[in-house]
Amino acid sequence: MGGIGAGMLLQLVGDLGSLGFILWLVHRTTTHTIPRLAKEYMTGEERLREDFKSILNQQREDFMKALERERQILTDQTERIIQAIRDIQQ
Protein backbone atom coordinates (compact mmCIF):
# COMPACT_ATOMS: atom_id res chain seq x y z
CA MET A 1 0.00 0.00 0.00
CA GLY A 2 2.99 2.26 0.60
CA GLY A 3 4.06 1.69 -2.99
CA ILE A 4 0.68 2.73 -4.26
CA GLY A 5 0.78 5.92 -2.19
CA ALA A 6 4.27 6.76 -3.47
CA GLY A 7 3.20 6.00 -7.03
CA MET A 8 0.18 8.21 -6.64
CA LEU A 9 2.39 10.95 -5.23
CA LEU A 10 4.77 10.67 -8.18
CA GLN A 11 1.82 10.70 -10.54
CA LEU A 12 0.38 13.78 -8.82
CA VAL A 13 3.73 15.61 -9.05
CA GLY A 14 4.00 14.62 -12.69
CA ASP A 15 0.46 15.77 -13.40
CA LEU A 16 0.97 19.07 -11.61
CA GLY A 17 4.18 19.58 -13.56
CA SER A 18 2.31 19.09 -16.82
CA LEU A 19 -0.57 21.20 -15.58
CA GLY A 20 1.86 23.89 -14.45
CA PHE A 21 3.51 23.89 -17.87
CA ILE A 22 0.13 24.10 -19.60
CA LEU A 23 -0.96 26.98 -17.37
CA TRP A 24 2.33 28.80 -18.03
CA LEU A 25 1.92 28.19 -21.77
CA VAL A 26 -1.65 29.54 -21.73
CA HIS A 27 -0.52 32.58 -19.74
CA ARG A 28 2.44 33.21 -22.06
CA THR A 29 0.29 32.80 -25.15
CA THR A 30 -2.45 35.15 -23.97
CA THR A 31 -0.21 37.84 -22.46
CA HIS A 32 2.74 37.87 -24.88
CA THR A 33 2.35 35.86 -28.06
CA ILE A 34 -1.15 36.89 -29.14
CA PRO A 35 -0.65 40.63 -28.42
CA ARG A 36 2.70 40.58 -30.27
CA LEU A 37 1.17 38.83 -33.28
CA ALA A 38 -1.79 41.23 -33.26
CA LYS A 39 0.55 44.23 -33.18
CA GLU A 40 2.67 42.83 -36.02
CA TYR A 41 -0.50 42.18 -38.01
CA MET A 42 -1.81 45.70 -37.47
CA THR A 43 1.56 47.20 -38.36
CA GLY A 44 1.60 45.17 -41.56
CA GLU A 45 -1.97 46.17 -42.36
CA GLU A 46 -1.13 49.85 -41.84
CA ARG A 47 1.91 49.54 -44.09
CA LEU A 48 -0.20 47.86 -46.79
CA ARG A 49 -2.87 50.53 -46.45
CA GLU A 50 -0.31 53.31 -46.88
CA ASP A 51 1.27 51.54 -49.87
CA PHE A 52 -2.16 51.09 -51.44
CA LYS A 53 -3.04 54.76 -50.95
CA SER A 54 0.28 55.80 -52.44
CA ILE A 55 -0.18 53.57 -55.48
CA LEU A 56 -3.78 54.72 -55.88
CA ASN A 57 -2.73 58.37 -55.78
CA GLN A 58 0.01 57.72 -58.36
CA GLN A 59 -2.47 55.95 -60.64
CA ARG A 60 -4.89 58.86 -60.26
CA GLU A 61 -2.16 61.34 -61.20
CA ASP A 62 -1.13 59.22 -64.20
CA PHE A 63 -4.76 58.95 -65.30
CA MET A 64 -5.26 62.71 -64.99
CA LYS A 65 -2.11 63.32 -67.08
CA ALA A 66 -3.34 60.88 -69.72
CA LEU A 67 -6.75 62.61 -69.78
CA GLU A 68 -5.05 65.98 -70.14
CA ARG A 69 -2.96 64.69 -73.07
CA GLU A 70 -6.09 63.30 -74.74
CA ARG A 71 -7.95 66.55 -74.11
CA GLN A 72 -5.10 68.52 -75.70
CA ILE A 73 -5.01 66.22 -78.72
CA LEU A 74 -8.79 66.56 -79.18
CA THR A 75 -8.57 70.33 -78.75
CA ASP A 76 -5.81 70.53 -81.37
CA GLN A 77 -7.80 68.34 -83.78
CA THR A 78 -10.94 70.39 -83.20
CA GLU A 79 -9.05 73.61 -83.91
CA ARG A 80 -7.65 72.13 -87.13
CA ILE A 81 -11.14 71.04 -88.21
CA ILE A 82 -12.53 74.50 -87.45
CA GLN A 83 -9.68 76.11 -89.37
CA ALA A 84 -10.23 73.74 -92.32
CA ILE A 85 -13.94 74.63 -92.37
CA ARG A 86 -13.08 78.35 -92.31
CA ASP A 87 -10.58 77.85 -95.14
CA ILE A 88 -13.24 76.07 -97.21
CA GLN A 89 -15.79 78.84 -96.56
CA GLN A 90 -13.44 81.60 -97.77
- What's residue 3's pLDDT? 53
- What's residue 20's pLDDT? 76
- What's residue 1's pLDDT? 46
> Pick the residue with more confidence: 3 or 5?
5
Quote the mean pLDDT of the chain.
88
CA–CA distance from 53 to each of 2, 43, 49, 65 (Å)? 74, 15, 6, 18
The H or E element that residue 61 is part of is: helix 34-89
Give the model confidence (pLDDT) of 5-46 as tens digits. Answer: 667 766 766 777 877 778 888 888 999 999 999 999 999 999
